[in-house]
Structure 1
Amino acid sequence: MALSHYKRCLEKHLLKSNRKIGLLAFIALALLFVLWSTREDSVRNTIAENRKNSKYSYTTNRDSLKKNWVPKNLPKDHISTYDLNKLKTTSDPLNNKEKILILTPMANFHEEYWNNLLALDYPKSLIELGFILPRTSEVDKALKKLQSKVKQVQSTTDKYSKITILRQDNDSQDSQLEKDRHAWDVQRERRSQMATARNSLLFSTIGPFTSWVLWLDSDIVETPHTLIQDLAKHDKPVIAANCYQRYYDENLKKDSIRPYDFNNWAESDEGLRLAATLPEDQIIVEGYQEIVTYRPLMAHFYNQNGDPAEEMALDGVGGTCLLVNADVHRDGAMFPNFPFYHLIETEGFAKMCKRLGYEVVGLPNYLVYHYNE
């Protein structure tokens, strides 16, 4: 009996202890809930008070963002419709108010280039500019100069419709010196990088309202002021000017000119024969003694007394000064950064245009001038 009495006493004691523990736990939880609720109310009140006293409210910031980021010409339903069938690309772009996109890959900034660009006899309101620069410390100096000039012109009433500046996200050649850029052993890598940069610039800037794309190298420092009209009046899908360079002739002791861009050429039988013998991944580059093609180079067909409007059929083009009907690019003609029929970059672009059925021509007696380093 003593044992059973002991068990009953123990059970009663444990039951009372469990009740006390449960009661204490409940009180503790209730206290924590009250404290947490009080803290949340305090935080909410503080936030509300801060918003009330703040100079800018949430609503104000939201409205400000709308004003800053929603284009003024965006329809209310936020859907823009363009009928490309009505887009004009004619031989008289000025009178038809056609929009021109001037694209320039840039590694060096020359004052003469910028001044020549500003002097073009075409309304800036109908011109968009696009630039792409390598991401190197050396080119950072050129970028600062470009940004300064852009800021100046865009702060006036006579400003360009739009200006876009891009930095390359791919590798680029370290040295931008002329002798290093044109060395034979770097041509495939350099031209591939240039092709990638050109494509990035083109695809990032061309719009549904672009009629013509003018590729103009940053080293082109002198052109006729009517460059756009002069090239467009030929009404060709792709047309190239002849790029020369001014220099001082030590032998004749006078200023003279010499050919510079040898990438404008017509195909030759030797060029076709050579291409047929090469591996698929090898390229042919003009203007180098390492590869002889006997292709007629437009640079050698300049006639001082010739007609500037004379045309020459081309199979390869350079990118120093090249006017392209925007529809050619829209149809898929780009700058291959890989061997395309043994051609690459601008020369590969010309080949692609021909494969798409577009005519490619050049003007041997119409000169633009390259910077002389």
Structure 2
Amino acid sequence: MKAASLNRNNFIRQIRRRPLTLLGPLFLIVLTYWFFFTSSKPTSKYSYKTKKNGFFSRQHDVIPRNLPGDHIAHYDLNKLASTPMAVYNKEKVLILSPMSKFYNEYWSNLLRLTYPRELLELGFIVPRNKDGDLALKKLEKAIKQIQTGKKENRFSKITILRQDTESLDNQQEKHRHALKVQKERRAAMASARNSLVFSALGPYTSWVLWLDADIIESPPTLIQDLVSHDKPIISANCYQRYFDEEKKQDSIRPYDFNNWVESEEGLKIAENMADDEIIVEGYAEIATYRPLMAHFYDANGDKNTEMELDGVGGAAVLVKADVHRDGAMFPPFPFYHLIETEGFAKMAKRLGYQVFGLPNYLVYHYNE
């Protein structure tokens, strides 16, 4: 008992003389617990980042807040849905637009879309040439204006890429659509589309809308209308407004001939082609006699009429994100003698997905 009393007295005297020596280990234990198991919560689920050129990009914070430290993000892709009730289920839509020129009409039409902005992300890829430099300048100005404006008008996220592959210098319509440049042009476009979707597609994306940057008119409910069909891939019919000199009146004409149904003649042509040759639709030099969706438009028909397709264009095409996640991309090489968007349709069908078009549902291409 006497020895125990002496030990207690010695311990008390040591605490009084050297408190830090004995309390130091306890302090380290408390500090370690605080560092690993607590963290400060962000005050906002959004952050704004300013680039050197003054372009503001709105970044969505996708890190869950119920995890220790808020440094690990978990996504269960089995619970990610692409349904015909996309707005009700708050499904995120990624709009992707390769852009060689910036059209004010395209941007105005994009802003008229009625799908909730907080569920919309945008992605652009711009070529490295003079046209691309000018388009980028105009695009950044438009984005800065909308993303620094009212919160309810801002998009959830915007991504801009500069194309890392060579682009055609001449982007005028008559040169773009010359048959002799189609393989080179479509291969470059395929590479750009792949870079864009691989970079911008997120683990929370339900739908991808491919919307060409020269589509200047579409119904404001474009996304909801296409989503309602609940198809893996579905394309609108792309037309163009023009002035008919003979009739002296405004009129419309088909523009995109890449939405088609395969024909026996098309299959025979492919059989006799070399491995590196491609079929390009819409040219008299390669007469496939494929039924083209552009020719099935009925002004008095039901806009919800569907037709199954084998080839698809890129003007306004809605894709369930899982189609891309499963490996459907845009081949920049001959794939069953098809390339880019038509090759994408072929690849998707090889993966077991169906492709559809809406012949009576029109979007309009810019008329140069």
- In the superposition, the TM-score normalised over structure 1's length comes to 0.81
| Structure with greater proportional helix content | 1
Which residue of the other structure, out of 108, 114, 132, is the alignment partner of 2:107? Answer: 114
**2:95–2:208: 8 Å Cα contact kept in structure 1?**
yes
CA apart distance, 1:290: 1.2
Question: After superposition, what is the alpha-carbon deviation per residue over 1:119-166, rounded to whole angstroms, capped at 9, x for unaligned?
Answer: 001111100000000001222111111000000000021200000011
1:357 to 352, 355, 363: 352
Aligned counterpart, 1:211: 206
Amino acid in structure 1 at the alignment position of 2:136:
L
Give the CA deviation at 1:68.
Answer: 9.0
Cα deviation digits, residues 86-125 of structure 1 (max 9, x gap): 1121011111111000000000111110000000011111
Partner residue in 2 for 1:30: none
**SS of corresponding position for 1:169:** coil
Structure 1 letter corresponding to 2:126? L
| Structure with the greater alpha carbon radius of gyration | 1
Q: Does 1:322 align with 2:317?
A: yes
Indicate the residue corresponding to 1:372 in structure 2. Answer: 367
| 1:310 aligned onto 2:305 | yes
Answer whether contact 2:239 2:252 (CA < 8 A) is retained.
Answer: yes
CA separation of 1:247 and 1:121: change in aligned 2, threshold 3 A: same
Alignment pair present for 1:135 and 2:128: yes
Q: Which amino acid aligns with 1:99?
A: K
Name the counterpart of 2:75: 82
- 1:287 alignment partner in structure 2: 282
Counterpart residue identity of residue 109, structure 1: F
Q: 1:172 aligns with which of 152, 167, 188?
A: 167
Q: In the TM superposition, what is the alpha-carbon distance from 1:78 to its structure 2 partner?
A: 2.0
Match of 2:38 in 1: none
Rounded to whole Å, the distance in 2 between the matches of 1:72 and 1:283 is 43
Partner of 2:94: 101
Q: CA deviation at 1:80?
A: 1.0
Q: CA deviation at 1:71?
A: 8.2
3-state secondary structure, aligned to 1:300: helix
- Matching residue's letter, 2:145: Q
Summarize the alignment of residues 1-373 of structure 1 with structure 2, pairs less than 5 Å apart: 74=63, 76=69, 78-156=71-149, 157=151, 158-373=153-368
* Mapped partners of 1:184, 1:167: distance in 2: 26
- How many angstroms does 1:318 deviate by? 0.3
Please give the per-residue CA displacement for 1:237-286, whole angstroms capped at 9, x wherever unaligned. Answer: 00000000000000000000000000000000000111111111100000
Question: Given residue 95 of structure 1, which amino acid in structure 2 is its aligned partner?
Answer: Y
Secondary structure of the structure 2 residue equivalent to 1:150: helix
Q: How far apart, CA to CA, are the structure 2 residues paired with 1:246 and 1:138?
A: 24
Give the residue type in structure 2 aligned to 1:182. H
TM-score normalised by length of structure 2: 0.82
Counterpart-to-counterpart distance in 1, 2:245 and 2:48:
58
Counterpart amino acid of residue 356 in structure 2:
V
C-alpha separation in 2, matches of 1:328 and 1:138: 32
Secondary structure of the residue aligned to 1:365 is strand
